[in-house]
Amino acid sequence: MQASRARLFKEYKEVQREKTADPDIQLVCDDSNIFKWTALIKGPSETPYEGGVFQLAFSVPEHYPLQPPQVRFLTKIFHPNVHFKTGEICLDILKTAWSPAWTLQSVCRAIIALMAHPEPDSPLNCDSGNLLRSGDVRGYQSMARMYTRLAAMPKKG
Amino acid sequence: MRNKEPALDDGEVEYEAGPESCWGNFEDDDVMQQQFSIQDDEAKKFPFVGDKEPLSSLAAEYQSGSPILLEKIKVLDQQYAAIRRTRGDGNCFFRGFMFSYLEHVLEAQDSAEIDRIKANVERSRNALQTLGYPELTFEDFFTLFLEQLEDVIQGKETSISPEELVLRSRDQSVSDYVVMFFRFVTSAEIQKRSEFFEPFIMGLSNTTVEQFCKSAVEPMGEESDHVHITAISDALGIPIRVVYLDRSSCDTGGVSVNHHDFIPAAGDLPSARGSSDKNNPFITLLYRPGHYDILYPK
């Protein structure tokens, strides 16, 4: 517990220091609980998520960084590796391939990379995965773009 | 928190899986939590590092098993006094190496060895920095290992007894951190000498060196192979003997037990170390397919 707190505090300081280094990621620690974080990430350009801002929720376990943080999308997203209802993310580094070499910040970068490079063969959202697997890139992109507009962009007017 | 969220149509913010999909409620996170709880249950059955046991306890395991193995255990019994088991959690090589090394330092109280290892630890630290690892990701693991190293040196207020070393090796907050320290050191060494390691890694996993380190060295619970052992032995300049207990036999009738010595690459050895010394590993691990335990020579 003490070790995880100390590590998270270092990450917190690093995030403060490097605030401008990564304009696509805004990582914020809960005011009262260092084990709860949220992040706003920008949808990568030249993807159907471009222009959208997606909110992630981090829940950090007691044995962090030996165990991975739990991360999910709070913003609805249509992506093969994100559960459409729960926002759960299927990403190896959040499961078996986790190591303390990752940080909350670099996890955000990995999630942005996953948005740009979906892995339709290990889908959590089968509808989305099936579109890509059957080669219907256009279908996948228009669905994903629609949900980006509906859920991840500020409403006009 | 919620009010910062981008605006949504009413009713769109429904992230809990509905009752219509009970499997939808059982997610990867739950699977992982379940896995952790199974690991906890296993932990209660066997500590990270066991007590010293006579080799007869090893023979007892194979009583109704292969006669070749029983013959080999008899041979081992002539050379080795005891075995100390480690938990089979994928970290057994690093765990056995950790205990064996710290126990050696505690017994030998060789200040030259301590200076030597510290210099190598700093080289690993520099290697990680050069490779672009943020300091905050690995420094806690380095600090904890160096603390253990300090504490096994006797004659200080913080000095620990052999019994205390066993207890610490069973304490997850120490033991896993030291294992992770070794994983960082191993990863740094492999990436630093990627040209050397690449052909071995291609043979094992057909991935890039960096990918191999990310997926098969750095994550806890990933098992160790020749590549890992070679790298840690080279990085820290510590020779390691691995004794193989398997069903292989030779046709000439006599039973012998094979071993392999991992001798640190010459360039990494300090000049002060004599050549006879470096061929004489003080760490001996018993390898049975998929698992490493510690052996004590007579």
Rg of chain A taking only CA atoms, in angstroms: 16
User: Any alpha helices (H) in B89-225, and if so which ranges?
Assistant: 92-108, 111-130, 135-152, 162-170, 172-192, 194-205, 209-212
Higher pLDDT, A97 or B271: A97
Residue B116's CATH number? 1.20.1300.20
| Residue B53 DSSP label | E
pLDDT, mean of residues B82-97: 96
CB nearest to B219's CB, from A7, A40, A97 = A97
Q: Give the distance from residue A26's alpha carbon to the nearest chain B alpha carbon, in angstroms.
A: 13
Q: What is the mean pLDDT of residues B119-125?
A: 97
pLDDT(A2) > 90: no
Please indicate, yes or no, if residue B17 is contained in any of the structural domains: no
Would you say residue B119 lies in a domain?
A: yes
B154 occurs within a structural domain: yes
Contact B12 A14 (CB under 8 A): no
Q: Which residues of B254-281 are buried (b: 16+ CB within 10 A; e: fewer)?
A: ebebebeebbbeeeebeeeeeeeebeeb
A109 to chain B, closest Cα gap in Å:
15
- Indicate which of B26, B30, B137 best probes the interface with A, i.e. most A CBs within 10 Å of its own CB: B137
Whether residue B145 contacts residue B232, with contact meaning beta carbons closer than 8 Å, is answered with no
- Put simply, whether A90 touches B (Cβ < 8 Å) is yes
On whether residue B156 sits in a domain, the answer given is yes
CA distance B117 to chain A (A): 23
Residue B261 confidence (pLDDT): 94
- Span B180-224, pLDDT tens digits: 999 999 999 999 999 999 999 987 777 899 999 999 999 999 999
Model confidence at B273, pLDDT cuts 50, 70, 90, reads very low
Q: CB–CB of B214 and A99 under 8 A? A: yes
pLDDT at B18 over 50: no
Other Cβ atoms closer than 10 A to B80: 20
CA-wise closest residue to B99 among B287, B289, B282: B282
Please name the residue ranges forming H helices in A39-103. Answer: none
Domain total in chain B: 1
Q: Give the tens place of pLDDT for each residue, B128-168.
A: 999 999 999 999 999 999 999 999 999 888 899 999 999 99
Among this protein's residues, is B89 annotated catalytic?
A: yes
Give catalytic residues of A, as residue numbers. Answer: 90
Q: What is the pLDDT of residue B39?
A: 72
Cβ(B77)–Cβ(B55) below 8 Å? yes
Alpha-carbon Rg for chain B in angstroms: 23
pTM, two decimals, is 0.88
Picking from A1, A72, A85 by the largest number of B CB atoms within 10 A of its own CB, the best residue to mutate is A85
Do A55 and B136 lie within an 8 Å CB cutoff?
A: no
* Section B45-57 average pLDDT: 93
Residue A112 has pLDDT above 50, yes or no: yes
On average, the pLDDT of chain A sits at 94
Asked if residue B84 is part of any domain, the answer here is yes
Amino acid A154: pLDDT: 79
Interface ipTM: 0.91
Question: How large is the average pLDDT for residues A48-55?
Answer: 97
Mean pLDDT of A46-59: 97
B10 in a domain, yes or no? Answer: no
Catalytic member of B213, B228, B291, B293: B291
Q: Is residue B16 part of a domain?
A: no
Per-residue pLDDT at A90 = 94
Domain that holds residue B239: 48-264+279-297
Residue A144, min C-alpha distance to chain B (Å):
15
- Find all residues with CB under 8 Å of B65, minimum gap 6, and list them: none
- Of B91, B136, B173, B191, which to mutate for an interface test with A (greatest number of A Cβ within 10 Å)? B136
The verdict on a CB contact (< 8 Å) between A88 and B28 is yes
Phi, psi of B228 (to 5 degrees): -60, -45
| Tens digits of residue pLDDT in B219-269 | 999 999 999 999 999 999 999 999 999 888 766 667 888 999 999 976 544
| pLDDT confidence band for B22 (50 / 70 / 90) | very low
Cβ pair B27:A86 closer than 8 A: yes
Contact (Cβ atoms closer than 8 angstroms) between residue A143 and residue A128: yes
Any A CB within 8 A of B136 CB: yes
CA B181 to chain centre: 9
pLDDT exceeds 90 at position B37: no
Active site residue B29: no
**Mean pLDDT, chain B, whole residue set:** 86
Is B20 inside a domain boundary?
A: no
